[in-house]
Amino acid sequence: MQQKTLVLRVMVLCLLVLVSSAAVLAAPIVYTVPIQGEIEPGLAAFVARGLALAERSNGVVLLEINTFGGRVDAATEIKDLVFKAEVPVIAYVSERAWSAGALIALSAPKIAMAPGSSMGAAEPRPMEEKTVSAVRAEFEATAERWGRDRRLAAAMVDASVVVEGLSEEGKILTLSAQDAVEYGMADLVAGSVHQVLSELGYESYELVRLEPHWAESIARFLTNSTISSLLLTLGFLGLVFEVMSPGWGVPGTAGLTCLALFFGGRYVAGLMGWEAILLFLVGLVLILLEIFVIPGFGVAGVLGMISVMSSIVVAFGDLQVALINLTIVLVVTIAAVVLLWRRFTRSRLWKRIVLSHSETQQAGYRAPADLSHLVGKQGMAITPLRPSGTCVIDGRRCDVVSEGGFVAANTRVEVVSVEGTRVVVREVK
């Protein structure tokens, strides 16, 4: 009898273990993906990682939104990811989902809002008819996808859309949590993530809050619209000043570093592939060849500029956005060069290296020695001639100019003419 009781207890215990194990296995993993701060292109990679993790574990994704907005193209990319998701996606507006954040919220099949939170205020910039029309259509289509009122979605974008009892003409619609639920733009009001999941029928679950990796954080920072434009501007400024100065130094290194951060950030964020980096490197090589090897500025330089500009267009992924940013960068670069040049020409350093007064005989200055006797003599170039440089001729150092193009250092040259202090040489073949 005791043996039967013991066996029965063991069987019951095993059954309880199996039941509890099954319950644990059945409990989904809910991945909380915080969407905070400015909406920028780098955020899409973070959201994509959360969706991928949920799909591998057959879990759930909860987008916890608190943002004033940002770039609509970045929000559209996140919206497309949510639409393609093969797992349940919930949007929880913890404080506010404004502008691009409202589009992300509307992309989710289920929307919950915290008491006192709001959603809307999505007036685009610039406020031209083409832009407003495009963003309005995006909001309407997104709302319609899950059976929400497209007119309310349109009113969040277009101030000309009037919703009786909610918005007036000339004002953009922003919904409170209570109004959003009342008018069907949100599903419930909940004070916490746990309440959201409970109200939506998730009795047991494992909650995992995702945080951006260091690479994703850096990518988000570098793809910020302001930072991207700043990196491009500093990159171009560095290269311009490097071209204006002999050799290679700090400006060129700083410029290339800024451009590397620009392209690297967008590559890590998944916004571009190797083709943009390859185009830029090809363009840079062609420009450097034109500056340091090939005299003048011809086909190689033009092709190099085209290649660099093309790489930036590919990096942005949108021709209009790329042209706007390039225009801003070029205007700022030109203005900065002009301003810095004007300040430099007035500096003490400029006065030290540039003669600002006439050197006359009355002031005690004597004319330079006659160099006409050097014609026909040969010497050695001790610096590259591009086309000017320094040679040793007849035992003396002379500042010379090459008759043709580039002459490498340690090349024998011959003096072909002397015009005052101007000594013209050619390479001895």
- Whether 35 has a pLDDT exceeding 90, the answer reads yes
- Whether 112 has a pLDDT exceeding 70, the answer reads yes
pLDDT band at 11 (very low <50, low <70, confident <90, very high): low
Mean pLDDT of all residues in 67-87? 91
pLDDT digits (tens, 9 = 90+) for 273-284: 788 888 888 888
Helices (H), strands (E): how many in the chain?
15, 13
What pLDDT does 349 receive?
54
pLDDT higher for 320 or 139? 139
Place of tokens 């709302």: 143
The C-alpha atoms of residue 98 and residue 264 are separated, in whole angstroms, by 29
Q: Domain 373-427 adopts which CATH fold? A: OB fold (Dihydrolipoamide Acetyltransferase, E2P) (2.40.50)
- Whether 145 has a pLDDT exceeding 50, the answer reads yes
Structure tokens given for 415: 């003096």
How many CB atoms sit inside 10 A of residue 9's CB? 10
Mean pLDDT of all residues in 155-164? 89
Question: Cβ-count burial of 158 within 10 angstroms (0-12 exposed, 13-18 middle, 19+ buried)?
Answer: buried
Place of tokens 């409202």: 102
- Whether 24 has a pLDDT exceeding 60, the answer reads no
What pLDDT does 369 receive?
65
pLDDT higher for 42 or 349? 42
Mean pLDDT of all residues in 284-311? 74
Identify whether the C-beta of residue 108 lies closer than 8 Å to the C-beta of residue 96: no
What pLDDT does 19 receive?
40
CATH 3.90.226.10 fits 21-212, yes or no: yes
- Whether 174 has a pLDDT exceeding 70, the answer reads yes
Domain boundaries, the chain: 21-212, 224-338, 373-427
CB environment 70-91: b (16+ within 10 A), e (fewer): bbbbbbbbbbebbeebebbbbb
Amino acid identity, position 174:
T
Dihedral sign from CA coordinates of 223, 113, 139, 69: negative
Q: What is the dihedral of CA 88, 93, 99, 104, to 10 degrees?
A: -10
Mean pLDDT of all residues in 201-211? 90
The C-alpha atoms of residue 201 and residue 189 are separated, in whole angstroms, by 15
What pLDDT does 329 receive?
77
pLDDT band at 3 (very low <50, low <70, confident <90, very high): low
pLDDT band at 23 (very low <50, low <70, confident <90, very high): very low
Mean pLDDT of all residues in 379-387? 87
What pLDDT does 298 receive?
66
Provide the mean pLDDT of the chain. 81
Closest C-alpha to 295, from 384, 235, 379, 380:
384
Name which of 41-50, 54-63, 81-90, 304-313 the model is least confident about: 304-313
Structure tokens given for 192: 């916490």
Question: Cβ-count burial of 39 within 10 angstroms (0-12 exposed, 13-18 middle, 19+ buried)?
Answer: buried
- Whether 8 has a pLDDT exceeding 60, the answer reads no
Task: Provide the phi-psi class of 300: left if phi over 0, else alpha when psi is between -120 and 50, else beta.
Answer: alpha
What pLDDT does 244 receive?
63
- Whether 390 has a pLDDT exceeding 80, the answer reads yes
pLDDT band at 247 (very low <50, low <70, confident <90, very high): low
What pLDDT does 51 receive?
94
pLDDT band at 18 (very low <50, low <70, confident <90, very high): very low
Mean pLDDT of all residues in 211-215? 80
- Whether 156 has a pLDDT exceeding 90, the answer reads yes
* SS3 (DSSP) at 220: helix
pLDDT band at 368 (very low <50, low <70, confident <90, very high): low
- Whether 50 has a pLDDT exceeding 90, the answer reads yes
What pLDDT does 107 receive?
95
The C-alpha atoms of residue 257 and residue 261 are separated, in whole angstroms, by 6
Name which of 166-175, 217-226, 340-349 the model is least confident about: 340-349
pLDDT band at 79 (very low <50, low <70, confident <90, very high): very high
Name which of 92-96, 163-167, 424-428 the model is least confident about: 163-167
Closest C-alpha to 89, from 128, 54, 136:
54
Identify whether the C-beta of residue 29 lies closer than 8 Å to the C-beta of residue 60: yes
Long-range contacts of 382-389 (CB under 8 A, 24+ apart): 382/409, 382/410, 383/409, 384/408, 384/409, 385/413, 385/425, 386/292, 386/295, 387/295
- Whether 428 has a pLDDT exceeding 90, the answer reads no
- Whether 291 has a pLDDT exceeding 80, the answer reads no
The C-alpha atoms of residue 348 and residue 25 are separated, in whole angstroms, by 76
What pLDDT does 108 receive?
96
